[in-house]
A = this chain, B = another copy of it.
Amino acid sequence: MAVVTTPGEEMHALVERMYPLCRSITGDGVRATLDVVGEHLPLEVHEVPTGTQVLDWTVPQEWNVREAWIADPSGRRVVDLADSSLHVLGYSVPVSARMPLSELRPHLHTLPEHPKWVPYRTSYYKPDWGFCLAQETLDALPDGEYEVRIDSTLADGHLTYGEHVVSGQVPDEVLVSSHVCHPSLANDNLAGIAVAVFLARSLGESTPYYTYRFLFAPGTIGAITWLARNAGRVERVRHGLVLACAGDRGSLTYKRSRRGDAEIDRVMRYVLETSGRPHEIREFTPYGYDERQFCSPGFDLGVGSLSRTPYAGYPEYHTSADDLDFVTPEAMEDTLAVCREAFAVLDRNRRYVNLSPYGEPQLGRRGLYGALGGRSDAQEAQMAMLWVLSLSDGEHGLLDVAERAGLPFDTVVAAADALHGAGLVKA
C-alpha cells in the first residue's frame, strides 16, 4: 500500500523532531532546533555575543543544562529533565545539594488546578533555580532528605537566531516571525515554526513580488536583538505576521497590528471572511508574542499575529498538556493554507493608475469588451475592468477594488492584468 504523506503530516513530523529539545532564549537547544529547521530551509544563523546592547536590553548570558533531577530519600529520581524539558525552571543556576523537602518546596512549581500537568516556568533575569512538576507528583513526595542536582551553565556565550529569505521582485519585505525559545510545548510554538517552514518553502517555489523574510528567534529578546541589528533596514518591512499557537484544534484568530488598519490587517480580515472559515479578529494589545516589539510605537510596523486559539486562551497553555497530541496535521495545514491565501492577496495588491481617466476608455476596440450592445448581463470580468478603471486613481489598491465591487480578488487581479496589458493602467 502506498503511503501518502500530507503537508500536515510532514509538519507534524517536524514538530515531533523538535519537541524533545530543551530550548530556552539562548543555548544549544535553540541551535539544535535551528539545525532541524535548516534541514528544510537554507538558514542564515546569527550568534550575538552576551553583553551586546540591543535597544533597551542586553544580550544575557547563555544558559545550558545537562542534567537536572531530584532524588527522593530512597534515591529514586522523582523529577528528571531527561523525561521532559519542562521539568527545570528555565535559566536555573546550578545546584547540587541535599535538603529536606521543606527546604526544597519553595523551588517546586506545580499547577494545583491541573494536578497531572507540569507547568512551564522561567527566571531569565533573576538568578534562581527550580523544578516544575505535576501536583500529583508533589503530593506523593515523602518527607525526608532529597538530593537535588542541576548541572547548568550560565556563562558568556551567544544568543542564536536564524533567518531565511525568499527573494522577491522588490526589496520591500514581508516579515514572518516565529519564536523558538519555548521547550517541549507543541503548539507554542513548534507548530508555528513548522507552518513558517512550509510557508517559506511554498513561497520559494516562485518569485513573489515582495521579499519574504522568515525569522526564527527567541521571544522578546530575540525580536529585540533582530530589531537592534537591523534598525537601518526596518523600514523595508512593509508587512509582517507573527505565527504562534498555529496547530491546535481551535479556529483561527487574527490579532491586528497596533495601527489597526495596516494592509496586513485588511488582507487577513478579507481572506478570513471570504474563506468562510470560522475565525475571530482581535484588536491589538501590547501583550502576546513578538508583535509587542515589532509594533512598539517607535517602529509601529504593520505586523499582525495569526494563531488558532490565541495566547493564554486554552488551559493547556504553557503546560505539559500542550503536547504532540494537542496539535494536529489538519490544523497546521489549515493555518498554512490561510497564510498562503493571505500572502497571495498581499503579494498582488498593487495600486494602479488609470492612464485614460477621462471618460471610459473604449474597451471594445481593444478586444476587452463584448461587442454586442444592449445586453444587460454585464459579465464579472467586464465589471472588474470597469471597477479597476474607476478606482485606479492612485488611492485604491486591488483589494479596495475587490471589496468595493464585491468581486473575487482573483477576478480583479485578472482585470488589472488585462488593462495593464492593454496599456490602460500603470502600476
Contact = CB atoms under 8 A, between A and B. Distances in A.
Nearest to A392: B297
Interface stretch (A14-22, A77-85, A339-347, A381-389): A381-389
Give this chain's copy count.
Answer: 3
Contact of A312 (B123, B224, B360, B376): B376
Interface string A219-240: 0100110011001000000000
B227 A375 contact: no
Interface residues of A, number: 63
A375 B312 CA distance: 9
A352 B373 CA distance: 48
A124 B373 contact: yes
A6 B197 CA distance: 70
B126 A357 contact: no
Contact of A56 (B128, B293, B362): B362
Interface stretch (A114-122, A166-174, A272-280): A114-122
A354 B56 contact: no
A298 B364 contact: no
Interface of A: 55-57, 90, 119-126, 128, 220, 223-224, 227-228, 231, 258, 283, 285-287, 292-293, 295-300, 311-312, 317-318, 354, 356-362, 364-365, 371-376, 378, 383, 386-387, 389-393, 404-405
23 contacts: A55-B356, A55-B359, A56-B358, A90-B373, A90-B374, A120-B374, A125-B364, A125-B365, A125-B371, A126-B364, A126-B372, A224-B359, A283-B404, A285-B387, A286-B390, A287-B383, A292-B360, A296-B390, A297-B393, A298-B357, A300-B393, A318-B375, A318-B376
